[in-house]
Amino acid sequence: AQRVTQPEKLLSVFKGAPVELKCNYSYSGSPELFWYVQYSRQRLQLLLRHISRESIKGFTADLNKGETSFHLKKPFAQEEDSAMYYCAHEGSGTYKYIFGTGTRLKVLA
Amino acid sequence: SQTIHQWPATLVQPVGSPLSLECTVEGTSNPNLYWYRQAAGRGLQLLFYSVGIGQISSEVPQNLSASRPQDRQFILSSKKLLLSDSGFYLCAWSRGQGRRETQYFGPGTRLLVL
């Protein structure tokens, strides 16, 4: 079955420290992967997606097909990065999307 | 620009009562529409999705149903609510006619069944 795994429910880092939110997927073929973020009292929204290869708010994510991973990274965490982060990919041959269970990032002052 | 609305924002209902949550999208045509339940520790659980009027795909057998009476309207319903239906329900849309599209989420409805 297609699955997205985010092993950490909670990740706490200090301001200025590097952060890496892990995401592993099971998908045969070339998936399109997404990272969504939900800040406190805000809507869930797209942070970045693999095909865009952008850096958004200092975050990047690289698709590693060998390890089937799409980890989200930022070299220097900021307090405003505290949020809930979800990794997702589209379901093979369907219009649905598979989400991970999410990782709550807390950036400590 | 496109916008997505959900209402009500919060709902408290007794067990056994019916449910109707509404989601509407503006500024686009033929969107794909989705209902999710968001629960702590369980992430986003896809409940239903629709690629067109009257076309509903159910992902999880449960006490809920969905309907799409108009192109940009998606309704989540139940005839008799259970305590376990309590949760945060999110509606989302993505551009139709293509896969691998970004999803855009509504503000959500918090449902408490007592």
Sorted by where each starts, the structural domains of chain B and their CATH numbers stand as: 3-113 (2.60.40.10)
**Which positions of chain A have pLDDT values less than 70?**
none
Q: Do A6 and B43 touch (CB under 8 A)?
A: yes
Bridge-based pairing of strands A72-74 and A103-108 is unpaired
B29 touching chain A per CB within 8 A: no
- The phi and psi torsions of B103 (rounded to 5 degrees) equal -100, 145
Instruction: List CB contacts of B34: < 8 A, sequence separation 6 or more.
Output: A96, A97, B46, B48, B49, B50, B74, B91, B92, B93, B94, B103
Residue of B nearest to A30 (CA): B100
Mean pLDDT of B74-100: 91
Q: What is the pLDDT of residue A60?
A: 94
pLDDT digits (tens, 9 = 90+) for B29-66: 999 999 999 987 778 999 999 999 999 998 876 789 99
Question: What pLDDT band is residue B96 in, cutting at 50, 70 and 90?
Answer: confident
CB B70 within 8 A of CB B22: no
- B99 has a pLDDT exceeding 80: no
Residue of B nearest to A43 (CA): B107
Domains in chain A, start-ordered, CATH in brackets? 3-108 (2.60.40.10)
